[in-house]
């Protein structure tokens, strides 16, 4: 008994001496172990994704390591928002040959351009910053996916990561588009739910709905934007305004366009002047116009080919408002 | 595929709440073009359904392998369309 007491007394000072040293070394080693567990597979997935995109570009005759390969369609709008901010103006103020409708880039979500602009404060060009944001977000996406998969390499989790690499539409993960940032926001949201952490989930949801329509659609913000854009009459100008670029009007504006097209159909049916509807003052009819098919009102007003001056070098598609078959054939 | 795995895991009662949330988000992503209209870019939205991939972590390898190969084939086609400028 006395030996036991003596040994316990002897052990106490040793323990007291070791206490301050333990947490630092333990934390460092646990961090290293965690990094070893969390990073290799996501980095390998990112490398595989990049190599696959590179191979696809090479097979398509495109130079992968160039900014031009990363920018298509709406990319020009995100870059314009990142470099000059949002703009909305009457088209005739800048382009006298255009109809008197609204133009601008207010239909595109702000999250991705905001992050791009912040990164560009380091001195990088805006388009390089946009690519950098996309690629860093992609690494983060793979890290979070691996974490959610349990961070243990098994045939199942390895195949799941491979599936994430070749996921349909994953080519957008390397493009100047907010898809990667939006996916990161959704994954942070899911991680927050897993950890039962409201801040995590809230931040993830905020990133998602500030970035992409999918996130915005999950709350009321998207609906509010849609009504606001329709109110300004921007939606029905999309097919002719430079703000549309070459193929851009997705997201909110697409919803707007359909809604206002329905509004026009209803207006014609009820005998309301189309000019009044065009001015965007008839919100009651916008709300009441559900359930009617889009009317080919804009079709006769569009020219066969057109370039959008000052906004995009890609030619606008003339029949997007009216002919879904023509529009779908472009895809 | 994801739906089949979800049903299988629901039957086995091992689907966790965060996985249900991931599945619901993916369902919202897939439903998005039907809500906003056919003119919305489908594949751009569907890429966000990657959030549901962790649900497949308990799926058997032999089930995932054909899916990975099929998706890889589709990736190449979509990639070629992207670089060709026809994928919106």
Q: How confident is the model at residue B12 (pLDDT cuts 50, 70, 90)?
A: confident
Instruction: Calculate the CA B39 to chain-centre distance.
Output: 20
Do A169 and B34 form a contact (C-beta atoms < 8 A)?
no
For the four alpha carbons of A329, B40, A204 and A163, in that order, the dihedral sign comes to negative
Which residue carries 């103020």 as its tokens?
Answer: A93
Contact A331 B87 (CB under 8 A): yes
The average pLDDT across A166-179 equals 92
pLDDT tens column, A196-231: 999 999 999 999 989 977 655 554 333 343 334 333
- Window 83-122 of A, Cβ < 8 Å to B: none
pLDDT at A174 over 90: yes
Dihedral (Cα; B5, B11, B17, B18), 10-degree rounding: -10
pLDDT at A157 over 70: yes
Do A259 and A235 form a contact (C-beta atoms < 8 A)?
yes
Instruction: Calculate the CA A301 to chain-centre distance.
Output: 32
Q: For residues B83 and B81, what is the distance between their CA atoms, to the nearest angstrom?
A: 6
Contact B57 A160 (CB under 8 A): yes
Contacts of B29 in chain A (CB under 8 A): 214
Average pLDDT along chain A: 68
For the four alpha carbons of A103, A108, A109 and A110, in that order, the dihedral sign comes to negative
Q: For residues A279 and A274, what is the distance between their CA atoms, to the nearest angstrom?
A: 9
The average pLDDT across B28-50 equals 79
Could you tell me which chain A residue has the CA closest to the CA of B84?
A: A60
Helix-helix angle B61-84:A40-59, to 10 degrees = 40
Pairing, β A102-104 against β A306-307: unpaired
List CB contacts of A244: < 8 A, sequence separation 6 or more.
Answer: A238, A253, A308, A316, A320
- The reply to whether A277 touches chain B by the CB within 8 Å rule is no
Q: What is the pLDDT of residue A134?
A: 95
pLDDT tens column, A71-130: 888 899 999 999 999 998 888 888 888 888 888 888 899 999 999 999 999 999 999 999
Contacts of B22 in chain A (CB under 8 A): 148, 190
- Window 5-44 of A, Cβ < 8 Å to B: none
Percent of chain B with pLDDT over 70: 92
Of B21, B22, B47, the CB nearest to A169: B47
Beta-carbon contacts below 8 Å between A and B: 183
Burial (CB count within 10 angstroms: exposed 0-12, middle 13-18, buried 19+), residue A305: exposed
Instruction: Between B14 and A171, name the one with better pLDDT.
Output: A171
Percent of chain A with pLDDT over 90: 36
- pTM, entire model: 0.68
Q: For residues A252 and A311, what is the distance between their CA atoms, to the nearest angstrom?
A: 19
- The reply to whether A319 touches chain B by the CB within 8 Å rule is no
Mean pLDDT lowest among A62-66, A237-241, B21-25: A237-241
Q: How confident is the model at residue B13 (pLDDT cuts 50, 70, 90)?
A: confident
* DSSP letter (8 states) at residue A313: S
DSSP codes joined into one string, B7-76: HHHHHHT---HHHHHHHHHHHHHHHHHHHH-TTS-HHHHHGGGGGGGGGGGGS-HHHHHHHHHHHHHHHH
Helix (H) / strand (E) element for A320: namely none
For the four alpha carbons of A145, A150, A151 and A155, in that order, the dihedral sign comes to negative
Chain B: give the shortest CA distance to residue A131, in Å. 16
Q: What is the pLDDT of residue A191?
A: 94
pLDDT at A151 over 70: yes
pLDDT at A19 over 60: no
């Amino acid at each position: 008994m006395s030996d036991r007491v003596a040994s316990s007394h002897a052990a106490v000072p040793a323990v007291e001496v070791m206490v301050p040293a333990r947490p630092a070394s333990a934390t460092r080693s646990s961090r290293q172990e965690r990094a070893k567990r969390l990073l290799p597979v996501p980095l390998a997935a990112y490398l595989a994704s990049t190599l696959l995109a590179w191979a696809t570009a090479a097979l398509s005759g495109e130079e992968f390591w160039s900014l031009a390969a990363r920018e298509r369609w709406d990319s020009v709008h995100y870059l314009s928002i990142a470099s000059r901010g949002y703009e909305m103006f009457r088209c005739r103020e800048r382009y006298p040959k255009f109809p008197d409708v609204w133009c601008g880039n207010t239909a595109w979500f702000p999250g991705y351009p905001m992050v791009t602009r912040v990164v560009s404060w380091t001195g990088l060009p805006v388009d390089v910053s946009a690519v950098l944001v996309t690629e860093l977000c992609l690494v983060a996406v793979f890290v979070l996916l691996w974490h959610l998969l349990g961070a243990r390499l098994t045939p199942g989790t390895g195949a799941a990561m491979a599936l994430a690499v070749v996921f349909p539409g994953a080519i957008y993960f390397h493009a100047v588009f907010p898809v990667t940032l939006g996916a990161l926001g959704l994954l942070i949201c899911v991680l927050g739910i897993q950890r039962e952490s409201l801040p995590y989930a809230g931040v993830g949801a905020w990133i998602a709905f500030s970035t992409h329509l999918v996130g915005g659609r999950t709350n009321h913000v998207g609906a509010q934007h849609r009504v606001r854009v329709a109110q300004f009459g921007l939606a029905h100008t999309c097919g002719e305004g430079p703000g549309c670029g070459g193929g851009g009007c997705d997201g909110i504006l697409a919803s707007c366009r359909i809604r206002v097209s329905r509004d026009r159909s209803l207006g014609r049916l009820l005998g309301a002047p189309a000019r009044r509807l065009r001015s965007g003052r008839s919100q009651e009819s916008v709300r009441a116009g559900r359930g009617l098919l889009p009317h080919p009102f804009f079709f006769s007003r569009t020219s066969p080919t057109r370039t959008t001056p000052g906004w995009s070098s890609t030619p606008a598609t003339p029949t997007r408002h009216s002919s879904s078959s023509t529009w779908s054939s472009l895809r | 595929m994801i739906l089949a795995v979800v049903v299988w895991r629901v039957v086995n009662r091992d689907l966790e709440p965060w996985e249900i949330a991931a599945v619901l988000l993916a369902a919202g992503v897939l439903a998005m073009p039907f809500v906003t209209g056919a003119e919305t870019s489908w594949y751009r939205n569907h890429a966000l359904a990657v959030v549901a991939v962790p649900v497949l972590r308990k799926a058997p390898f032999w089930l995932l392998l054909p899916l990975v190969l099929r998706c890889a084939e589709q990736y190449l086609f979509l990639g070629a369309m992207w670089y060709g400028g026809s994928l919106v």
